[in-house]
Structure 1
Amino acid sequence: MAKYLIVGGVAGGATTAARLRRMDESAEIIMFERGEHISYANCGLPYYVGDVITERENLLLQTPESFKKRLNVDVRIKNEVVRIDRENKLVEINDLINNTSYTETFDKLVVSPGAEPIKPPIPGIKDKAIFTVRNVNDTDKIKTYINENKPKKAVVVGAGFIGLEMAENLHHLGMMVTIIEMAEQVMTPLDYEMAAVVHQHLKTKNVEFYLNDGVSQFKRNADYLEIHLQSGRKVDADMVILSIGVKPETKLIKEAGIELAPNGGIKVNEYLQTSDPNVYALGDAIAFPHPITGKYTNAYLAGPANKQGRILANNLVLGHKQTYKGSIATAIAKVFDLTIGSTGLAEKVLKKEGISFVSNITHGGSHAGYYPGAMPTSIKITFDPHSGKLYGAQIIGYEGVDKRTDLIATVLKKGGTIYDLQEIEHAYAPPYSSAKDPVNQAGFTAGNIIEGLVNIIHWDELNQLHAANNFILDVRTPDEFELGQIEDAVNIEVDQIRNRLDEIPRDKKIIIYCGVGLRGYFASRILMQKGFSDVYNLSGGYKTYEHATCKQSNEDIFESSYVAKDSHIYRKKTSSEEKEIQSEKKTIEVDACGLQCPGPIIKLKKEIDKLENGDRLLQKVTDQGFMKDVASWCNMTGNKLISLDSDKGIISAVIEKQKKDEQCSVLNNGVAKNKTMVIFSDELDRALASLVIANGAAATGNKVTLFFTFWGLNVIKKANKPKVQKDLMGKMFSKMMANCADDLKLSKMNMMGLGSKMMKKRMMAKKVDSLEDLLKTAMENGVEMIACQMSMDVMGVDKDELLEGVSIGGVATYLEEAEKSNINLFI
C-alpha cells in the first residue's frame, strides 16, 4: 500500500489528494495544511470583502470533515511541515494546536506551498490598519476591521489583478478609494495602451490613483494613517490593503537541498517531479518552461494548479504517462464595469526576450451593432510577422470578453496562428456576436498585415517621427475632426479621397488614421493602389491614440469631499450645482447604445436640434469616447452639459439646449472680454511683462489664461522640486534648462547672469514685485495657468516639478480659451 504525504491543502494539494483517492482506493493519503482551512476559493476573497458574496461558508469548498467522509483523506489542519528528510523519506511536522512535533514517513511526497505576499520593510508597515489578502484569515481580519471601525477612506497599494478587485469592492462598500502604483500603469501584464483604457475607466468611477509613485512610509496619526509617497505627496487613509505582489514560498524545499529554477521557483520536469525522484511539486511555487519562450516562469493561477494536481496524481499511480505542457498565463479580471482578459505574451515581454513579432489592435462590438445594447470590445494580438504564429492577446470590453479570451487561448495553447483565428467557427446570433466575430476580425486584420495589404504604425511610433517628413491624414468626418485630432493632421474624409488625391503629397510618409482603424484601412488601400508608396495606417485608430496619450493618473480628486455627521461621504457642491439640483426641466431620452463614433455625436446634434431652448436631452451611449466628446461638443456649440455618468459600460449624458445669445457666458454685449497669453520664452524680462499684464487684466475682472509651452515651462517650476524619474533625454534637458523662476536670465544684457541680478536688485529698490511674487499674486487673482502636456513630454518636465495650482492641458484646451478672448498674446 502506497503512502502519500501532501504539503498544502488549497487548490493544488486538495486536487491532488482527491484525484489520488479516485485512482487508488487503498493508498494512505495524509494532507497537511498549516492554516485553518482547506480547498477554499482564493479568487472569491475580494468579493466577500465587498459583500458581493455574502455568505462566508460559500468560500469554503471543502472542510477536513467532508474531505475525510467523501475521500477518506487524513486532513491535518494547523499542522506545518517544517523539514524534509530526503534520505530517510520522512517529514517533520509542528502541530500548531497542541504545540508538539512529530514525524511521518512517505513513499512519495507532494509539495504545494503556494506563494506568499510581498511585504517590503517600509516603516510603519505593521500597523493594525494595514492588511494583505491571501487567505480566509486575512479576509476575516479585514471584515472585522471594517465592521468595527467603519472606515471611509481606503488605500490600495499595488494595482495588479487582486489590487484592482479590492479597490472595486471597497468602493462598492461606499469608501473613497485611492490606488498607489509604482509602475507607470495598472495591471502590468497588459501593454501600456491597453492599461490606458483601464485608467480612463477608473476615472469615471471616481477612483483616485497615483502612478509612477511608491510608498516610503506609513505613519500613524491619531485615528488615521498618513501615507508618505516617494514623490513627497501625502495621502490619508483609514485602512490600507497591500497588494504589491507575491513570491514562491520555497523555504522548505530550499532547506531540503532540492533544486530551484533561476527565477526562484521549484524546478520540476514535465511529470511535475523535482530533482528528488520521490518529491513532486505543483501550484504557485513551481517554475516550468514557458511554452513560447522556453524560460522558467511561475503561473500564479488557480486553473493551472488544479490541472497540475490531476496530472500529478495520475503519474504517481499509473507511472509517468501524462506530461504537463506549461501555462500560457490565461487570466481575466473584472474592474468595475470593464472585463480584462489576457493570454500568452504581451508586446513588452516579446521585446525583452528578443522575439520578432507584430502587434495590432482592433475594435469591435460585443454583438451585432443593429441589435440593441452592443458594447465596445478592444483586442490586441501579437504574432510572428512571417508564419503568423500567435504569441498573445489582450482583450478589454464589457460583454463576451471571457469567451473571446478562451477562444484565442485555445488556439495559442495548440501553437496556432492568426489564420486559425480567421477560421474559428463561433456560435452566431445577433444578441451574441456578429457574423464575423471580433476574434475573426483580429485574424483577418493580422492577415492583411502579413500579406502586405496594409502597413501599420503604432501610437508611440507616431510620436517619435520627425514631423517635417510626414503627412498625417485624418479620414474621419469633419465633425469628428473638430472634436479632437492628432496635431498637424489634415482632414480629408475617406469617401472624398479619390477626388482629392492632389492634396496628398507623394514625397512624404503618409500616416492615416480614423476612429478605430477600419476607414483608415480603406483609405490605405486606395492610396497604395493609386501609386502612393509610403502609406501607414494607425493601429487602433484615434481611439487607441487618445487613450494612450492623454493624462493617465487621477490625483487629488477627494480634496472637495468630506464625511458628514451621518457618516456618509459627500462632495461639496457649488452654488450653481445646488440650483441645478433644485430645477426641474423637460427631459427627452435618446438611446444611442451600439453606435460607434461619430454616430453618438451625430445623433446628439440631430436630436437636440428638435428641442426648445431650456429643454434637456438624456442620451445613453456605449461608445466610451463619448465621455470626452460630449464635453468638447458642448463647449463648441454652447449647449450646457448638466451631468455625465457611466454605469456598466453605458454612458448617460444630460445636455441642456441653450439660446444662441446665452451660449457664451464670456460675452459682454456680444464682445468677448477674456485674455489669453502663450508664454513660450523663459527670459526674465519677458516673463515679468507677462505676469504684469496678467495681473492687471485680472484686477479689472477679466478671466486670464496663461498657456506655458516649451521654454516657458521653466517660469512655473518649483524652487524645491521633488525627485522624479526621467529618461536620458529628460535628464539632459533638465541640466540645460533653468531650474525655476529665480534662475531665469535676461533677453538682453544678461552678462553671464550679472544682468539678471542687477534687475532683481533694481526691482527690490523700486518696490516692484519679484517674479515669484507676481506668480503668487496671479494665482490668488484667479489667473488660470496651464502647462502644455506635449511640451512637458518633449522637454522631460514632470507635473510634480510645477507650482501647485498649475493645470495640465493640450492645444485644444488653449484654443477653447482663445475662442472666448478678445486679446491673445504670444510672448
Structure 2
Amino acid sequence: MNKKIIIVGGVAGGASTAARLRRLDENAEIIMVEKGEYISFANCGLPYYIGETIDERGKLIVQTVEEMSSKFNLDIRNLNEVMSIDKENKKVKIKNHKTDEEYEETYDVLVLSPGAAPLKPQIPGINECDNLFTLRNIPDTDKIKYYVDNYKPKHATVIGGGFIGLEMAENLHARGINITLVEASEQVMAPLDIEMASIIHEHLIDKNVELILKDGVAAFDNKGKKIILSSGKEITTDMIILSIGVKPETTIAREANLNLNERGAIVVDKFMKTSDPSIYALGDAVEIMDFVNKKPTMIPLAWPANRQGRIVADNICGKNTEYKGTLGSSVAKVFDYTVATTGNNEKTLKRLEIKYEAIHIHPGSHAGYYPGSFPIAFKMLFDPKSGKIFGAQGVGLDGVEKRIDVLATAIKGNLTVFDLQDVEPCYAPPYNSAKDPVNMLGYYASNIIEGFTKTIQWNEIDKLDKEKSLIIDVREEFELVTGSLDNSIHIPLGQLRERLNEIPKDKNIYVTCQVGLRGYVASRILEQNGLQCINIDGGVKTYLYAKRAEESIRNQYKNNEEIKDEVAVMKLEDLDITEINANITLNACGLQCPGPIKRVFEEIKKMENGNILEVKASDPGFTKDIKSWCDSTGNTLLKSEFNNKEKAFIAYIQKGSASTSRENTVSPNVVEKNGATLVVFSGDLDKAIASFIIATGAASMGKEVTMFFTFWGLNILKRADKPSVSKDIMEKMFDVMLPAHPGKLPLSQMNMMGMGPAMIKQIMKKHNVDDLETLIKNAIDMGVKVVACSMSMDLMGIKKEEFIDGVEIGGVASYLGSTEGSGLNLFI
C-alpha cells in the first residue's frame, strides 16, 4: 500500500522533503500544507528586494505552486493551515483560509516544518505602533517596501543587530534613509567574538549608521514615532524594523504533546524523528546537536533545513540516514564587508568550559603584488593539545567566505590544525597567495602546540602588571604614530639582535608588531638568546580594532540627525573643500603591513609644503591609521573614503597644515568660520566654572568651540566613578595629591580649607546656576570639543580611562589647528 505523507510547511525544509520524497518514491501520496501563499521563495533575498538590489519581485519566487505540483506530482495546498494533530488516530485538522472551511486528513507519516516566527515581545506601546515591521516572508516584504516607497521615511530604527537587522540596515540605508541600530548586547553579529565584531562596529559608524549598544527598548510612544530606551535615551524615528531573533513556531507540536525543549523547539533523534515514531520534524523549529561540542542547540539556518529535508525523505523511504549535527556556518554582507563564521566561538567555549587557544591573523585576500588584494581578519579556535579545530571567523572585503568554507569542511572532516598545513588550495596571483590563509592558520596554531611560541590575547594586555612586565614593539618608527600599546619600548626588529643588552632580565617580556608576524620572529630571536617572552596575538591591529571601535561609538553625536563621521570626511576647522586636486598620486593597494603608511611617509618627505598626496590603499584599517599618522606628524588629512568603483580606500593628505596652500584646495568663495578656543590651565573651581560658562555661551552663538585642558586643568575632566588603573609610584603620588574629580576642586581665592567651594556651590544653587558637572555635560551636548593635552597626561600620570565620556586626547598641534579659524582665544 502506498504511503500517505503530509508535510506541514514549505520553503527550505518542507519543499526539500517533498522533492526528495518524490524522487525516491513515485507512488507515494504527498500532500504539502502551507498556511502562506508562497511555498518556495528566497527568504534570504528579501532585504535586497527592499533595498532594490534585487529589482524584480518575481525573482524572489523559487517555485510556484503550479510548477512544483506538476514537476513532482504533489498535492500542494497553500493558504491552508494545520490546526491540530491527532496522534492516536493519525490525522490532522486543516483550515482552508480561502474558504474558512475546516476538514481532516489522515496520514501514515507526518512531517513538521513550521519554521520560526520573529520575536515580538510585549513592550509597552508596541501594539499601537503603525510604523513597526518584522520580516519573515513575502507579505512582510511587500508591507515594508510599500511603506518605504510611499511614505518616504527619512529615518529608520533597526532593533536587533543580527543577520536580518544588519541586512535591513544596509538596504534601508541604500534607499537614502538615515539609520539608528539598537542592540541590547555589547555587539552586533552574535556568532562573532567581540574583537571581530568591533571591525563591523567601526564600519557601521563609517557608513553613518548610529550604533547604540548595550541598550534595549523600554517603551514605544506616539504610535512608534518615539522609542524610549532602557537608558532613558529617546529616538525620534519614522519607521521601525524589529529583528531581535526568532522563536520556533511549534504550537501544534506542543498541543500534540510531542517532546519540546525549554525554548519550545521540537526534540528529534539523529534520524530527525520526534517522540512519536510516525512524525518527523526539521528546520528552524527543531533542536539539533552542535557538531563541535556535541551539545543540543538551535541553529535556524537555510543549509541545515535543506539537508534535514533530504534526510527526512531518506528515512521515510527506509534509508536510515543520520543527521550528524550543525556547524552553524554562515556568511553575511554588511555594507562593504563580508562576515563569515563556522563552528563554536570563544563565548560558547568559555560557557561550556572547554579549554581552547585562540589565534588572529591578517593576511591578504590574494597576492599583494596583484591589484585588488585586501587584508582579511581571521580568528581560529582550537584545542591546545590535540589541535582539534573548534571554530573560525573572518571579516574582510574579499576572499573571506571561501576560507571559512575550507575550515568548515576541515571541521566536518575531523582535520586538525596540523592537517591545515597540508591543505592544497588553488593558487594564482589574482586569486590567492602561494601560502593560503588557511595554511597560515595551520602553521601558527602548530607552532603554539609544539612550543615554538607563546601568546597573550588582546583583552589581557590592559591587565598586565606594568611594574613587572615590559612590551617590546618591533615595528618601524613611522608605524608607531598609528597607535601603540602602553608600557612599551621601541626596538625595531632589524635592531633587536644588537640591542639585547637593553632588555631587562627581571621583567616579563612581551613582543608585538602590527599583525603578529614580526612579533613571532622577534620572540624566536629572544627565546634562542635565553630570554623568555610572549608574543601578543594579532599584534597592535587586533588590539586597536576592539579599543578604537569603543571610542568611535562614544564619539557619535547623540542625536539622530547628525552623526560624527571621523573617517568618511575629516572636516577642517576653517575650510570648505569643494574639490581636491592632488599633486601626486600613490597606489598602495595590495601592500601589507606596514606598507601603506611606509609609502606615505616616504612620499611626503619628498613633497613641498602645501602639496597634496592622493593615496589609494586596500587595507580597511588605513583610514584610521592615516588619520593618526597625520595628527601625529603635523600633516593634514583632507578627506578619506572608500571608493566603491575603484574598490579602494582613498585619502587626500596635504603636507603641513591646511592653511599652507589654500588655493590648491579651496574654492574662491570660502567663508571663514567664527570659532573660539580656550586653554584651560587652572584647576580652580571658580575658573573652571567661568571657562564652561564662556564656552557654552560661545557655542550658543553658533561658534565652534574648542577647550584645550592642560596641566592642572585636567583635573576638571576626571570622572567621579573613575575605574582603577595601573600606575607607577610617581603617578600614584600625583593621584593622591591632585583633586579626584570636579567636586573636589579648590577655589583660587578664599578656599578656607574647603569651606569656600561649599559656599560657592550653595550660592549657585540658590540662584539657579548650574553646578560645574552640569555645565560640563551641557557644553559637550552643545558640541563643544573638549581636548585633553596628551603630554600633560603623561607628566601627571593621568590615564584616559579616568576622564568623563566625550573627552578627546590631543597635542599642541591639535589645539593650534583649532585656533586657525578662531576669532577668540583665551588662556584661563
State the TM bucket, normalised to the shorter chain: 0.7 to 0.9
TM-score (norm 2): 0.86
- Which residue does 2:286 correspond to in 1? 286
1:244 is paired with a residue whose SS is: coil
Cα distance change of structure 1 residues 659 and 770 upon mapping to structure 2, 3 Å threshold? closer
Matches within 5 A, 1:425-574: 425-533=424-532, 535-552=533-550, 553=553, 556-557=556-557
Cα distance change of structure 1 residues 707 and 156 upon mapping to structure 2, 3 Å threshold? farther
Cα distance change of structure 1 residues 717 and 54 upon mapping to structure 2, 3 Å threshold? farther
Deviation at 1:770, TM superposition (A): 5.8
Deviation at 1:638, TM superposition (A): 3.2
Is 1:20 the counterpart of 2:18? The answer is no
Deviation at 1:596, TM superposition (A): 2.1
Matches within 5 A, 1:597-746: 597-648=593-644, 650-658=648-656, 662=660, 676=679, 686-692=684-690, 704-706=707-709, 712=715
The C-alpha deviation readout for 1:133-170, integer Å capped at 9, x for no partner, is 11111001111111111112111110111111111111
Q: Verify the 8 A CA contact 1:692 1:774 in the aligned structure 2.
A: no
2:421 is paired with a residue whose SS is: helix
Deviation at 1:758, TM superposition (A): 3.9
Q: Verify the 8 A CA contact 1:204 1:646 in the aligned structure 2.
A: no
Cα distance change of structure 1 residues 369 and 147 upon mapping to structure 2, 3 Å threshold? same
Counterpart residue identity of residue 329, structure 2: T
Q: Verify the 8 A CA contact 2:362 2:375 in the aligned structure 1.
A: yes
Deviation at 1:176, TM superposition (A): 1.1
Worse-superposed segment, 330-339 or 255-264? 255-264
The C-alpha deviation readout for 1:67-107, integer Å capped at 9, x for no partner, is 11100110101111110000000001111110111110000
CA distance in 2, matches of 1:745, 1:518: 51
- Which residue does 1:410 correspond to in 2? 409
Matches within 5 A, 1:745-760: 756-758=757-759, 760=761
Q: Verify the 8 A CA contact 2:199 2:549 in the aligned structure 1.
A: no
CA distance in 1, matches of 2:483, 2:660: 24
Is 1:241 the counterpart of 2:241? The answer is yes
Matches within 5 A, 1:383-398: 383-398=382-397
Deviation at 1:45, TM superposition (A): 0.7
1:634 is paired with a residue whose SS is: helix
1:341 is paired with a residue whose SS is: strand
- Which residue does 2:376 correspond to in 1? 377
Deviation at 1:749, TM superposition (A): 12
Worse-superposed segment, 195-204 or 382-391? 195-204
Q: Which of these residues, 198, 201, 205, is aligned with residue 199 of structure 1?
A: 201
Is 1:359 the counterpart of 2:361? The answer is no
- Which residue does 1:148 correspond to in 2? 150
Deviation at 1:663, TM superposition (A): 9.1
Q: Verify the 8 A CA contact 1:333 1:341 in the aligned structure 2.
A: yes
Worse-superposed segment, 612-621 or 161-170? 612-621
The C-alpha deviation readout for 1:218-262, integer Å capped at 9, x for no partner, is 2227xx711211111122221111110011111111110111134
- Which residue does 2:66 correspond to in 1? 65
CA distance in 1, matches of 2:781, 2:295: 59
Deviation at 1:44, TM superposition (A): 0.6
Counterpart residue identity of residue 588, structure 1: I
Counterpart residue identity of residue 356, structure 1: K
Cα distance change of structure 1 residues 748 and 494 upon mapping to structure 2, 3 Å threshold? farther
Counterpart residue identity of residue 537, structure 1: N
Cα distance change of structure 1 residues 134 and 774 upon mapping to structure 2, 3 Å threshold? closer
CA distance in 2, matches of 1:560, 1:352: 36
CA distance in 1, matches of 2:580, 2:658: 21
- Which residue does 1:217 correspond to in 2? 219
Cα distance change of structure 1 residues 748 and 182 upon mapping to structure 2, 3 Å threshold? farther
CA distance in 2, matches of 1:496, 1:521: 15
CA distance in 2, matches of 1:779, 1:198: 27
Is 1:107 the counterpart of 2:108? The answer is yes
The C-alpha deviation readout for 1:305-330, integer Å capped at 9, x for no partner, is 101111110110124x2111010100
Cα distance change of structure 1 residues 775 and 708 upon mapping to structure 2, 3 Å threshold? farther
- Which residue does 1:170 correspond to in 2? 172
1:536 is paired with a residue whose SS is: strand
2:36 is paired with a residue whose SS is: coil
Cα distance change of structure 1 residues 238 and 554 upon mapping to structure 2, 3 Å threshold? farther
Cα distance change of structure 1 residues 572 and 727 upon mapping to structure 2, 3 Å threshold? closer
Cα distance change of structure 1 residues 217 and 643 upon mapping to structure 2, 3 Å threshold? same
CA distance in 1, matches of 2:228, 2:781: 28
Deviation at 1:609, TM superposition (A): 4.0
Cα distance change of structure 1 residues 779 and 626 upon mapping to structure 2, 3 Å threshold? closer
Cα distance change of structure 1 residues 660 and 397 upon mapping to structure 2, 3 Å threshold? closer
Cα distance change of structure 1 residues 584 and 461 upon mapping to structure 2, 3 Å threshold? closer
The C-alpha deviation readout for 1:671-718, integer Å capped at 9, x for no partner, is xx9765589xxxxx8444545578799999996412799994776679
The C-alpha deviation readout for 1:511-570, integer Å capped at 9, x for no partner, is 11100000000000001111112x11111111110011124326755959589xxxxxx9
The C-alpha deviation readout for 1:113-148, integer Å capped at 9, x for no partner, is 111101111123232211111111100111111111
Q: Verify the 8 A CA contact 2:615 2:650 in the aligned structure 1.
A: yes
The C-alpha deviation readout for 1:317-361, integer Å capped at 9, x for no partner, is 124x21110101000001111101100000110000010110110
Q: Verify the 8 A CA contact 2:716 2:741 in the aligned structure 1.
A: no
Q: Verify the 8 A CA contact 2:515 2:539 in the aligned structure 1.
A: yes
Cα distance change of structure 1 residues 506 and 497 upon mapping to structure 2, 3 Å threshold? same
- Which residue does 2:190 correspond to in 1? 188
Deviation at 1:608, TM superposition (A): 3.5
Counterpart residue identity of residue 337, structure 1: D
Cα distance change of structure 1 residues 761 and 43 upon mapping to structure 2, 3 Å threshold? closer
CA distance in 2, matches of 1:189, 1:24: 39
- Which residue does 2:161 correspond to in 1? 159
Q: Verify the 8 A CA contact 2:478 2:601 in the aligned structure 1.
A: no
Counterpart residue identity of residue 709, structure 2: L
Q: Verify the 8 A CA contact 1:362 1:540 in the aligned structure 2.
A: yes
Q: Verify the 8 A CA contact 2:10 2:32 in the aligned structure 1.
A: yes
CA distance in 1, matches of 2:410, 2:768: 76
Q: How many residues in Structure 1 have an aligned counterpart in Structure 2?
A: 778
Cα distance change of structure 1 residues 586 and 313 upon mapping to structure 2, 3 Å threshold? closer
- Which residue does 2:92 correspond to in 1? 91
Gaps of 5+ in 2: 663-675, 726-737, 820-825
Q: Verify the 8 A CA contact 1:590 1:617 in the aligned structure 2.
A: yes
CA distance in 1, matches of 2:780, 2:107: 75
Gaps of 5+ in 1: 564-569, 665-672, 680-684, 719-725, 730-736
TM-score (norm 1): 0.86
Q: Which of these residues, 587, 594, 601, is aligned with residue 590 of structure 2?
A: 594
Q: Verify the 8 A CA contact 1:497 1:523 in the aligned structure 2.
A: yes
CA distance in 2, matches of 1:210, 1:798: 23
CA distance in 1, matches of 2:657, 2:407: 52
Cα distance change of structure 1 residues 767 and 436 upon mapping to structure 2, 3 Å threshold? closer
Q: Verify the 8 A CA contact 1:40 1:59 in the aligned structure 2.
A: yes
Cα distance change of structure 1 residues 101 and 532 upon mapping to structure 2, 3 Å threshold? same
Deviation at 1:471, TM superposition (A): 0.3
Deviation at 1:808, TM superposition (A): 3.3
- Which residue does 1:80 correspond to in 2? 81
CA distance in 1, matches of 2:802, 2:780: 20
CA distance in 1, matches of 2:723, 2:80: 51
Q: Verify the 8 A CA contact 1:23 1:317 in the aligned structure 2.
A: yes
Deviation at 1:489, TM superposition (A): 1.2
CA distance in 2, matches of 1:662, 1:297: 62
Worse-superposed segment, 36-45 or 704-713? 704-713
Cα distance change of structure 1 residues 104 and 743 upon mapping to structure 2, 3 Å threshold? farther
Identity %: 45
